[in-house]
Amino acid sequence: MGNKFRSIFSLTRSLQCTSPLLYHHFPPTLHTLLFNFFPLCPFLSFSTSSKAISHSEPNSETPFSFYEISPPPAHTTVAQFAISKFSHIWEKKADTFPYGAPLQLVIKLGLDLSPETLRRFLRASELKPENFLEILLGFGDDVNLREVTYLWKLFRWCELQRGDFHHLSRSYEIMVSLLASAQMLDEAKSLLSSMVRNNMVLSDYGALFSGIIQAYAEASKVNDSLSLFDQARDMGLVLSGSCYHSLLNSLIKIPDADLVVRVYRDMINAGLGSYSEKPVLEFVVTRVANNGKLSEAVRLIRLLKQFGIKPSQEAISEIAEGFCRKKDFGDMMNFLREQSAIPKSENCSKMVNSLCTNLGSKKAWIFVQRMEKMGFKPDAATFGNLICQSCRGGNVRDAFIYLSECFSRKIMPRVYFYNSIIGGIFRKGMYRHVSYVYDDMLEKGLKPDLYTFRILVAGYCKYRKLDEVEKVIDEVNNSSIISVQRGGCFFSKAMSILGLGHLGVKLKRDNSVGFQKAEYFDNLGNGLYLDMDIDEFECSLDEVLNLAMVPNFDSVVISELKRGNVRNALETRHEAVQLGKDLSLEAYEELLRCLLANVQYLKDAVRIIDEMPESIDNVDSRILNSAVRIFSENKMAAKACLLLERLISHDMLVERGSYSSLLFCFCEERDIHGFKKSWELAKRGNWSPDKKELEAIFCFLLNFGTISETLELLDSIERYHRRSLDDVYKVLVKLLSSTGYTDFACAIVEAILNNGLFLDSSSILYLIKGFIKERKSAEALGLYKIWIERNSTLDAGTFQLVWPLILKFGCVDSVFCLIQPSEKTLPNSILDLCLREMRKEENSIFQGTTLKNLRFDESCLNALLQGSCRENNFKNTLEILCYMLRKGACISISGYRALTSRMCATQNFEKALKLSNIIQGENKPSEIICKNILISRLFSLGSESLVDRVLTEMQHRSIDPDNVTYDFLLYGYHKCGNMGKSVEAFDASISKGFEPSNRSLRIIMSHFCTMSSLDKAIELFNLTTLKKWKCGSSIVNTLGLCLISSGQCLEAKHICDKAPENLYFDPLIRQFCRKGEITTAISLANKMLKGGNVPCEITYSGIINLLCRCRDIDAALNFVTEMELQQLRPSKKSSETLIRALCDLGRLPDAKSVLEVMVRVGAVPSYEIYNHVLEKYHEVKNLEIAAEITREMQKAGHKPKFEMQWSIISELRSSGDKSGRDCKPILPRALSLKGGAQLKKLKG
């Protein structure tokens, strides 16, 4: 925790008294938190005379002052305090790249990314612009984020190495493209803006803008992509088609349709219509057509046709429907003929309805016939429009024609077809022919509905055919469509069906002579007539006829839904839309309820909500809230969020469950941006989560790593919700501690206590477990001590975690007394102490003075069993085993393993074989696991025959081996020298589809190579690669070396190419160097570096030797420099070989540099190599360097030749005299050297 908490150098007296050493281990970072708990511990007291122990000086006598504490201000919220304390963690950290470092260090940082590219610049003093471009091109286009990050930092380092450095324009282009491809979009945008500001001349700015705009759009950063798009268009740049494609696909997800239309127009005008896609085209055409700009929509379609793009049927339908709304039917037909396309069937039906309404059914029929020639197939809705409109217009003859056409196309008519025709016949006065039409309807298998009976009753009443009315009423009585009272006057029932009971129409008997008023004679011969207001009655009947002729889809939809026929209800609603009708609000609400209740109809619910008119806002808010919840629960977060926004914008009631479900949906989808948006909506609605919801949200944010958002959420809760937040704090502390953020949890606890708020002991427990998980021992133990002193009970699970720390700090004696006889079970953490007591007791371990009152649970007994086996105390082991069997305790896997190991170690093989038979209880280990353990132990003792007995028993008991069994068998037979059975076990494992372990693969591969079965070895390696099994370095090296030794170098190269990067290839590299394969050797070394592994010194030295033989001296020098950077020591032989080669080429400064590297890494160059370099410098008359090498040679313990020394001294003296320079004496310096002794003798 470091300096994250305010320092306070005191702990409780109880901790000091318990163990001063323990207290000394506690860092000061924990002290503030411990002090804050003191007011809650009434039994902890502080004496004013007590001395506090300083953390830095444990024995300090400096008195402690509580006034040194700097608690957080009480007026701040808990979240604000935590944010102020830890904001530096999520704030953008400063770049730590060493921009002021030398080139070698900078190159080393990226050497493992592309060693073949960067290695040749290790010896350069600086990078030139063309060098950096070479590096960019060397990395290539397929780069990952880490590589792009390094290149970006190297790009900036180059600019900082000297003021006059200017990158090449090509480097700028490549760098921007790489940044965009790696999603480093802000950096790419910044670099591109600087290029524009500096008026840099580039071949194609449009491509760079396109790449960044496309990347922003694909990352759903629409605002950034639009700002760059506008800048590019202002500059007159031509963007790429893929850029438009990505931008448009991103824009259609937001509600601003004008932006989509604007960008789409720009794409078409730029001549990139070929990149148009069906969803975008439909979106644009729909918006343009709905805005009344049909001419522009048609122009777009015509432009797309020039690019060879055929408009979709949906786009054609939208434009045609737009023409219908404008009643411009001539232009509509011209447009359809021009495009040689027809709208969708439902749109055609809508057009037919519009034509019928505005121009009549005859014009509509002509339209249908023309559309049929173009491929349109009329459906029931089409003829429904024609028949209904004809009947409403009084043209019954045409209605019969359309009905006949319907039959000829084998289209099943609807009931409302006949209702309209019957109503039209009544209106024409041809009531005598109604019965024929009605009978025909029944013959077609159509059942009359309520509106059929209403039309019949109204029509017959209109013409006073009361006897027919009576027949209709009798038929109604026999049907289940409407319930009427049994008995009574038929006419009153008729009026009830018509809904005209309020008119007071009465059926009276005509008693006058001649029955002058009689309109109807009953069975008894009574003349009856209707007593009423004739005009009002006739108007009412005409109204009933007119209304009944218009299909009422509401009742049909509701009745179908009540019967559970949701699909029929959807089809009815679809047909109603085609007929230009819309359902009532009641029908829509009922339909939505049923659709939302069934998951398979959710897409239909979404479509209906999208297609519903503005009346959706009048739908019951409970239904819409239910839709939000159900959409969220079925991971349709986008739809749910849009619907929730609509509810809020129209001030409709939003239930708290709607907010909760949407937030949880975004949590499950791990969409942090959607979560933030929905959280803002929830805050506007004053939504407050309950404890369970809050825990789920906090858990999502913490698992997502968004600590700042978590604390902001807590701050919002503290500000907007003035309820008790104890549960909130407790949940947050628990989650922070369990997800690796215990430091943050401590800050929360500290702020809570300083604000005088209550915090129960469980929060301290969470902190303890969190510190243990993060391996912060001192903090965990200090808090645990306080928790123990505040609680009389002992938490076994936590004690088990802290027990190793107690042993570490030497507090065993003080803790052992915490075990209470009343405890139901013994915590597992006390087991080591129990085993210690077992060694002290002379009698039975369960009768000892220390352990006799303890009650052991099953896990404790298993742990004691394992401990006894480790102590090699067979007596106690058997006693514990018998005790467990008596108590019915199950032996765990670990217990069984310990027992088996102990029995096999003592040569009790028969007991080991029979041990599994005495394991009892429901939770006994799996038999195959027991057999695997037994096989492993038997093989470790070399008992192959007993293993065969175990296998035979397994076969008799139908126990199938698993992959672990085969792995043990393969390894065991190998150890026993029976490779035949190892191969059999391997083949059986592969045949059953098990993945062999790396150990098994290594053994089999080594066996194949030893037996020279290279074909099998290669086949096994290919299988390993194909199955993507884990392949270790030894497998590849073994196979590769065997192939090389057999002369199959090409096959060995193929094996190396297929091998993964994260392996060690040192043996193979050295072997390739011996074979002279320098390219392959260097390629494998590069592969190792890319995989994060550094070749060893011998490998590097072998490559250097081979490069020297190949006379590639510069590459050898690069490897020497690389070794020095890797802190590796080149071999003496390779270094001297390189020095000789450099001297032979006359590159003496480089030879001298290699010589200095040898001395710097601690190698002692040989006398011969010193002498060789010295002679070369003497030959070229570089006497100063020759003298320096002479001195270095003597420091290394070598004696230069006297003749060479004398020659250097003489020539230096003579050169100094000739030049007339004021030189220092040469002879004294020469004589000061060890090798000058001979010269002294001569002078003497």
Contacts of 496 (CB under 8 A, 6+ apart): 484
At 557, list the tokens. Answer: 């939809």
CA proximity to 1139, closest of 1168, 1110, 1181 = 1168
> What is the predicted pLDDT for the residue at 90?
54
> pLDDT, tens digit, for every residue of 633-691?
888 887 888 888 888 877 788 888 888 888 878 777 777 777 777 777 887 777 777 76
> What is the predicted pLDDT for the residue at 465?
80
The domain limits of the chain are: 431-549
Contact 904, 937 (CB under 8 A): yes
User: What does the alpha-carbon distance between residue 187 and residue 193 come to, in Å, rounded to a whole number?
Assistant: 10
Between 968 and 325, where is the model more confident?
968
> What is the predicted pLDDT for the residue at 130?
92
* pLDDT(150) > 60: yes
Between 64 and 442, where is the model more confident?
442
Distances (CA, A) of 92 to 89, 153, 187, 671, 713: 8, 16, 14, 22, 20
With bands split at pLDDT 50, 70 and 90, how would you rate the model's confidence at 802? low
* pLDDT(1067) > 90: yes
**Which of 498-512, 1001-1015, 1097-1111 has the weakest average pLDDT?**
498-512
> What is the predicted pLDDT for the residue at 351?
83
- The sign of the CA dihedral 693, 695, 699, 702 is positive
Contact 30, 58 (CB under 8 A): no
At 198, list the tokens. Answer: 């500096």
With bands split at pLDDT 50, 70 and 90, how would you rate the model's confidence at 834? low
> pLDDT, tens digit, for every residue of 929-969?
888 888 888 888 788 888 888 888 888 878 888 888 999 99
User: What does the alpha-carbon distance between residue 667 and residue 659 come to, in Å, rounded to a whole number?
Assistant: 12
Contacts of 600 (CB under 8 A, 6+ apart): none
What integer is the mean pLDDT of 326-349?
81
**Which of 393-407, 437-451, 483-497, 582-596 has the weakest average pLDDT?**
483-497
> What is the predicted pLDDT for the residue at 818?
47
> What is the predicted pLDDT for the residue at 533?
66
> pLDDT, tens digit, for every residue of 65-78?
222 334 444 446 77
> What is the predicted pLDDT for the residue at 131?
92
What integer is the mean pLDDT of 176-199?
89
The residue written with tokens 């009272």 in the block is 485
> What is the predicted pLDDT for the residue at 671?
74
**Which of 278-282, 702-706, 1202-1206, 1238-1242 has the weakest average pLDDT?**
1238-1242
Rounded (10°) angle between helices 1132-1144 and 1097-1109:
20
- Judge residue 535's burial from the number of C-beta atoms within 10 Å of its C-beta, 0-12 exposed, 13-18 middle, 19 or more buried: exposed
* pLDDT(915) > 80: no
> What is the predicted pLDDT for the residue at 118?
92
What integer is the mean pLDDT of 617-645?
82
For residue 311, count other CB atoms closer than 10 A to its CB.
23
Between 593 and 495, where is the model more confident?
593
Which segment, 17-26, 326-335, 757-766, is predicted with the most confidence on average?
A: 326-335
Share of the chain above pLDDT 70, in %: 76
Which pTM was predicted?
A: 0.65
- Judge residue 429's burial from the number of C-beta atoms within 10 Å of its C-beta, 0-12 exposed, 13-18 middle, 19 or more buried: exposed
**Which of 173-177, 543-547, 564-568, 978-982 has the weakest average pLDDT?**
543-547
Contact 529, 537 (CB under 8 A): no
Between 612 and 986, where is the model more confident?
986
* pLDDT(40) > 70: no
> What is the predicted pLDDT for the residue at 73?
46
The secondary structure of 290-352, three-state, reads HCCCHHHHHHHHHHHHHCCCCCCHHHHHHHHHHHHHCCCHHHHHHHHHHHCCCCCHHHHHHHH
User: What does the alpha-carbon distance between residue 749 and residue 1 come to, in Å, rounded to a whole number?
Assistant: 14
* pLDDT(912) > 60: yes
User: What does the alpha-carbon distance between residue 407 and residue 509 come to, in Å, rounded to a whole number?
Assistant: 47
The DSSP result for 860-917, as a single string, is: HHHHHHHHHHHTT-HHHHHHHHHHHHHHTPPPPHHHHHHHHHHHHHTT-HHHHHHGGG
Which segment, 150-159, 593-602, 1175-1184, 1228-1237, is predicted with the most confidence on average?
A: 150-159
Between 666 and 916, where is the model more confident?
666
The residue written with tokens 């008991």 in the block is 957
Contacts of 963 (CB under 8 A, 6+ apart): 989, 994, 995, 996, 997
With bands split at pLDDT 50, 70 and 90, how would you rate the model's confidence at 22? very low
Cα–chain-centroid distance for residue 385?
A: 52
With bands split at pLDDT 50, 70 and 90, how would you rate the model's confidence at 527? low
**Which of 499-508, 837-846, 1211-1220 has the weakest average pLDDT?**
837-846
For residue 204, count other CB atoms closer than 10 A to its CB.
12
> What is the predicted pLDDT for the residue at 419?
86
* pLDDT(1206) > 90: no
> What is the predicted pLDDT for the residue at 1003?
92
Cα–chain-centroid distance for residue 306?
A: 42
> What is the predicted pLDDT for the residue at 745?
80
> What is the predicted pLDDT for the residue at 1068?
92
* pLDDT(1244) > 80: no
CA proximity to 495, closest of 484, 486, 487 = 484
> What is the predicted pLDDT for the residue at 840?
46
> What is the predicted pLDDT for the residue at 1069?
92
* pLDDT(146) > 80: yes
* pLDDT(392) > 60: yes
> What is the predicted pLDDT for the residue at 71?
43
904-910 contact pairs (CB < 8 A, 24+): 904/937, 904/938, 904/940, 904/941, 905/941, 906/874, 909/938, 909/943, 909/946
CA proximity to 795, closest of 842, 761, 839, 752 = 761
Contacts of 85 (CB under 8 A, 6+ apart): 4, 747
* pLDDT(848) > 60: no
What integer is the mean pLDDT of 593-614?
80
> 802-817 b/e with 16+ CB inside 10 Å = b?
bbebbeebebeebbee
Residue 381 has φ and ψ, to the nearest 5°, of -65, -35
Mean predicted lDDT score pLDDT of the chain:
76
With bands split at pLDDT 50, 70 and 90, how would you rate the model's confidence at 5? very low
What integer is the mean pLDDT of 1139-1143?
89
> What is the predicted pLDDT for the residue at 615?
64
* pLDDT(1095) > 90: yes
> pLDDT, tens digit, for every residue of 1030-1052?
888 888 999 999 999 888 889 98
> What is the predicted pLDDT for the residue at 1083?
92
CA proximity to 1001, closest of 1045, 962, 1032, 1044 = 1032
> pLDDT, tens digit, for every residue of 821-832?
334 344 444 455
> What is the predicted pLDDT for the residue at 42?
31
**Which of 202-211, 618-627, 779-788 has the weakest average pLDDT?**
779-788
> What is the predicted pLDDT for the residue at 827?
47
What integer is the mean pLDDT of 889-910?
74
User: What does the alpha-carbon distance between residue 165 and residue 395 come to, in Å, rounded to a whole number?
Assistant: 90
Q: In 506-601, which residue ranges form alpha helices assigned H by DSSP?
A: 534-549, 553-562, 566-578, 585-596
- Residue 216's identity, in one-letter code, is Y
At 996, list the tokens. Answer: 């062999």
Share of the chain above pLDDT 90, in %: 7
